[in-house]
């Protein structure tokens, strides 16, 4: 099993290019199941999660080919309606095939999804939304069994205890695209990835309005056709590299980063003393006068993303002051804390928040990744630490960051992947 070795103390400088958004590509690939025909998806990152989704689509009868960042999906012969446990259990976004299979084939058997261990992530809102469209759903032997002769439009409210559900919104939009009549989703997720999905579905012939707001209206159509689409840049990857530049006092240009998708992150980084400059095709990051401690609370978009919590926490370790990081989306998402403590961090956890005392001298150590974003936070800590940091279990990292070791290496980091 591979690990990543980082020797800290290097100031990052130069330019890197952001890959396509994983959290956009996965539901869009799943949505190709809604049509019988060929779709071409461009700017798709080369990640383990993408490979898993391709395997799932093949298991359902799709023919798929990939060349560089372009994936061609032919769903003409999709007949199978069972997404198997051995694939779905490795990735939460696998649940995205539930809505398309149900809408196109009138039935779907999808194993309960897996993925990172960051606390409970129930799929009850997915089920609630699809039931509102007329589906009959039961849970049997670990599978979600859904049936519907014909889905019918309805009003769906997707509010949950921790805010809107992104994948639940995606599932309901996809299913409603082929439902009879009009569906209105209230408290829909507003993420850019939902907007990207809606744009692709509209290219397929769907009639979706309001994506990117809390009220989405879908007028169902009789059929959809294959389409061509380019995935948006990955805002979480971009945010991670912004913090990599900041934590090393660097000067980097992040090509392809979309300023408008990152405003909550940018606002907090600027509050911490990071200088961020919007340019035509990306974002420039520098740290002119040192860093200061700030408080951060994660929220549903357009608030500060939970997927950036571990990274901003790590940045606070190198400030002079005390920060409070509050996690309102996944209150248990602090498994990276114990590993950061091994590197000399001063962090106290109190339920759904942590108190970070900056200024501690970080030193390299062997650490173990527990989930995707925690993996990134450990590499960021390694960039700022004295000595060598060895990050094991990087298969988590490869689920969501394309060649992170190569990209950081191009910026001057002392980083390598070893067996």
Catalytic residues: 116
Gap between the Cα atoms of 341 and 163, Å rounded: 30
31 contacts 197 by C-beta, under 8 angstroms = yes
Gap between the Cα atoms of 115 and 48, Å rounded: 12
Gap between the Cα atoms of 132 and 156, Å rounded: 6
Gap between the Cα atoms of 46 and 403, Å rounded: 9
Gap between the Cα atoms of 170 and 25, Å rounded: 12
Q: Which of 345, 341, 266, 265 is nearest to 308 (CA)?
A: 265
The backbone torsions φ and ψ at residue 410, rounded to the nearest 5 degrees and listed phi first, read: -70, -20
Gap between the Cα atoms of 178 and 292, Å rounded: 51
Residue 70: count of CB within 10 angstroms of its CB = 14
Rg (CA), the chain: 21
Gap between the Cα atoms of 111 and 276, Å rounded: 43
**Residue 381's Cα: distance from chain center in Å?**
21
DSSP reduced 3-state for 398: helix
22 contacts 50 by C-beta, under 8 angstroms = yes
CA distances 362 to 24, 291, 368, 383, 411, Å, are 35, 16, 16, 10, 21
Gap between the Cα atoms of 154 and 46, Å rounded: 37
């Amino acid at each position: 099993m591979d690990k990543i070795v980082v020797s800290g103390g290097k100031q990052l400088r130069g330019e890197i290019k952001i890959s396509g958004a994983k959290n956009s590509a996965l539901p869009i690939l799943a949505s190709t199941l809604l049509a019988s025909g060929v779709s071409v998806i461009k700017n798709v990152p080369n990640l383990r999660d993408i490979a898993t989704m391709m395997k799932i689509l093949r298991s359902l009868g799709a023919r798929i080919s990939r060349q560089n960042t372009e994936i061609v999906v032919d769903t003409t012969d999709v007949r199978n309606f069972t997404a198997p446990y051995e694939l779905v259990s490795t990735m939460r976004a696998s649940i995205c095939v539930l809505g398309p299979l149900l809408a196109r084939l009138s039935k779907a058997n999808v194993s309960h999804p897996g993925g990172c261990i960051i606390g409970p992530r129930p799929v009850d809102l997915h089920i609630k939304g699809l039931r509102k469209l007329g589906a009959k759903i039961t849970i049997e032997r670990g599978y979600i069994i859904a049936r519907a002769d014909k889905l019918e439009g309805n009003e769906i409210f997707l509010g949950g205890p921790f805010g809107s559900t992104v994948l639940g919104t995606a599932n309901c939009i996809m299913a409603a695209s082929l439902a009879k009549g009009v569906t209105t989703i209230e408290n829909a997720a507003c993420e850019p990835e939902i907007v990207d999905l809606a744009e692709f579905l509209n290219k397929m012939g769907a009639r979706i309005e309001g994506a990117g707001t809390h009220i989405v209206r879908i007028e169902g159509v009789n059929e959809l056709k294959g389409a061509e689409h380019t995935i948006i840049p990955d805002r979480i990857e971009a945010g991670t590299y912004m913090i990599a530049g900041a934590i090393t006092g660097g000067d980097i240009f992040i090509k392809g980063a979309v300023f408008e998708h990152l405003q909550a992150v940018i606002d907090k980084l600027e509050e911490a003393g990071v200088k961020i400059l919007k340019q035509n095709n990306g974002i420039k990051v520098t740290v002119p006068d040192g860093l200061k401690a700030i408080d951060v609370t994660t929220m549903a978009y357009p608030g500060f993303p939970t997927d950036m919590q571990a990274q901003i926490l790590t940045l606070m370790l190198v400030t002079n002051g005390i920060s409070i990081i509050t996690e309102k989306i996944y209150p248990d998402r602090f498994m990276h804390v114990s590993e950061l403590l091994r590197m000399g961090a001063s962090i106290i956890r109190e339920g759904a928040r942590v108190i970070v005392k900056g200024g501690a001298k970080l030193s390299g150590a062997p650490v173990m990744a527990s989930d995707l974003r925690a993996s990134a936070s450990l590499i960021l800590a390694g960039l700022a630490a004295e000595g060598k940091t060895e990050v094991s279990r990087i298969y988590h990292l490869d689920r969501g960051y394309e060649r992170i070791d190569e990209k950081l290496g191009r910026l001057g980091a002392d980083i390598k992947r070893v067996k």
